[in-house]
Amino acid sequence: MAVTWSGRWNHVRKVTERTGPFAHPDFEPSTETLQFLQEVCHILVIGAGGLGCELLKDLALLGIRNIDVIDMDTIDVSNLNRQFLFRPKDVGKTKAETAANFINLRIPGCNVTAHFAKIQDFDASFYRKFHIIVCGLDSIIARRWINGMLISMLSYEDGELDQSSIIPMVDGGTEGFKGNARVILPGMTACVDCTLDLYPPQVNFPLCTIAHTPRLPEHCIEYVRILLWPKEEPFGAGVAIDGDDPAHVSWILEKSQERANEYNISGITYRLTQGVVKRIIPAVASTNAVIAAACATEVFKLATSCCQPLNNYMNFTDIEGVYTYTFEAEKKDDCVACSQKPQNISFCESDKLQDILTYLLESTTYQMKSPSITTAINGKNRTLYMQSVKSIEEKTRANLKKSLAELELCSGQELYVADPTTPSSLTFILQMGTKME
């Protein structure tokens, strides 16, 4: 398939067919490198949003032809200020397919395959097809999940990591004028969970402030969202808030305004209301372009060895001047995801199962979302608590109030915890003693 023309790859070939003092020691300048990029190299892009659109363009213009893209979203009007592969006529269509079609049309020979799906819809056999996976996600849960998936695919022989089982992950993230790009070699360098403290957990307003002592317009909006909506069910029983439905936002706006007036609070606007309800993170084209470009450059380096990859984390911000900070994030010896070590957790016999659950949710090391806990007693599996299946939740809910002694859990007991942040369940070893802080 000779979809090319004279001079097309002149720019790329300068660095793939010539070596330099900063190239990776394994680099061999050759025309085969470009050939590899075009014919063999298979890249997965996760997310076809702000970063994803940029990543597809960037990779395609570096000569990579075989690209898959996964995204579960459809196009919204508010995407158009930065997701440049989408037009007003595309609103409502799937992001993955629209982006893939655009790239395939614009860049001759490029073969982007779209998956309108969630990353959780695929298993290891799918992910194993790719040489490198690059993420442009806005969700930490999804990042941790794919991170966990790539770690679960590592194979060890006599404790030695089989290098050929490593699929590098390049990850980008943006928020307003700030962003970061990082390179993860699963099992070798710091993974997403090793550096979980870089993603501070979301802070919510205390419920008592919202209910009794509102001071900010945000408190009034949260009051309507959390307390008033379920009580009044303004759009029918069981109808959840849709932050994109102007009727819903307008109702919340009006009620928030009423509450604000009651307390002499000013500053409620439609924009603020929608921002709070949808937890909107501001976004601009420029930051997405910068972070995606840095990530795509790293994919190119990893795929060609024409230059040493980033080691391993870069922060970017351009509010006051333009500033980058590059550092080596450290692999955690006892990382829950990549250390292969069971996690020790310490509680007292009088602690309740709820305390363990709360700890898993709130500790900065784990930051789980809805953990289910099972264990094995005398070789028999026993579900202590499960949230995801309603009937089991009802059956196991009472366990939360029981103490660990009542549940007959003792020191050394293994607890298996499943959570949306990880594709495989994690093993915790319970130590009876003092409660963990």
Partner 1 sequence: MAAVTKSGLDKNNKYDRQLRLWGDHGQSALESARVCLINATATGTEILKNLILPGIGSFTIIDEHKVQGEDVGNNFFLSKESIGSSRARTATELLSELNEDVSGDFIEESPSNLIENNPDFFASFTIVIATNMDEKSLLQLGELLWNLHVPLLICRCYGFIGYIRLVVKEHNVIESHPDSTHEDLRLDRPIPAFVTLCDSLDMSSMNKKDHSHTPWLIVLYKYLQQWKDSHGGELPKIYKEKSQLKELIRNGVLKNKDGVPEDEENFDEAVRNVNTALHPTSVPSDVQKLFKDPACLNLTSESRPFWILTRAVKDFVEHEGKGALPVRGTIPDMTSDSERYIKLQSVYRDQAAKDVSDVTRRVHKLLQELGQDEPLLDCNQFKTSSLLHSNPCSISEKDIKTFCRNSAFLRVIRCRSLKDEYNPETANVTLIGQHLEDEDGDDVVFYTLLRSVDKFYEKYNHYPGYYTQQVESDITELKACLSKLLQDWSLSSTVKDDYIHEMCRYGASELHTISAYIGGVAAQEAIKMITGQFLPINNTYIYNAMKQSSTTLDL
| Nearest to 419, CA basis, from 370, 384, 375, 373 | 370
Ranges within 258-297 binding partner 1 (CB under 8 A)? 263-265, 270-271, 274-275, 280-290, 292-294, 296-297
Going by C-alpha positions, the residue among 102, 151, 117, 104 that lies closest to residue 47 is: 117
If one asks whether residue 84 binds partner 1 (CB under 8 A), the answer comes out as yes
Q: CB of residue 88 vs partner 1: minimum separation in angstroms?
A: 5
Which of partner 1, Zn ion, none is residue 378 near (CB under 5 to 8 Å by kind)?
none
166 near Zn ion (CB under 5 A)? no
> Strand (E) positions, 393-433?
414-418, 426-432
Mutual angle of helices 246-262 and 270-278, in 10-degree steps? 110
Tokens of 238: 């069981």
426 forms part of the interface with Zn ion (CB under 5 A): no
Q: Which stretch binds Zn ion (CB under 5 A): 101-109, 184-192, 291-299, 401-409?
A: 184-192
**Count of chain residues binding partner 1 (CB under 8 A):** 78
* 335 interface partner picked from partner 1, Zn ion, none, CB below 5 to 8 A per type: Zn ion
Give the span between the Cα atoms of 244 and 206, in whole angstroms: 26
64: left (phi over 0), alpha (psi -120 to 50) or beta: beta
Place of tokens 């928020």: 175
- Give yes or no for a contact between 117 and 72, defined as CB atoms under 8 angstroms apart: yes
Cβ-based nearer residue to partner 1, 159 or 321: 321
- Residue 337 binds which one of Zn ion, partner 1, none, with CB within 5 to 8 A depending on kind? Zn ion
Say how many C-beta atoms besides its own lie within 10 A of residue 437's C-beta. Answer: 6
Restricted to residues 17-36, the positions that interact with partner 1 (CB under 8 A) are 17-22
255 near partner 1, judged by CB under 8 A: no
What is the DSSP code (8-state) at residue 312? S
Residues numbered 187-246 forming contacts with Zn ion, rule: CB under 5 A = 191, 193-194
Amino acid at residue number 58: D
Rounded CA separation 252/292 (Å): 36
In the annotation, is 53 catalytic?
Answer: no
Measured from the CB atom, is 267 or 433 closer to partner 1? 267
The one catalytic residue in 208, 295, 306, 307 is 208
Burial string for 60-74 (b: 16+ CB within 10 Å, else e) reads: bebbbbbbbbbbbeb
Query: Does residue 228 bind partner 1 (CB under 8 A)?
Result: no
Interacting residue with Zn ion among 338, 356, 373, 415 (CB under 5 A): 338
Q: 139 to 178, contacts with partner 1 by CB under 8 A?
A: 176-177
- Residue 184 partner contact from Zn ion, partner 1, none using kind-dependent CB cut-offs of 5 to 8 Å: none
Q: Which residues bind to Zn ion, rule: CB under 5 A?
A: 191, 193-194, 335, 337-338
- What amino acid positions are annotated as catalytic residues? 208
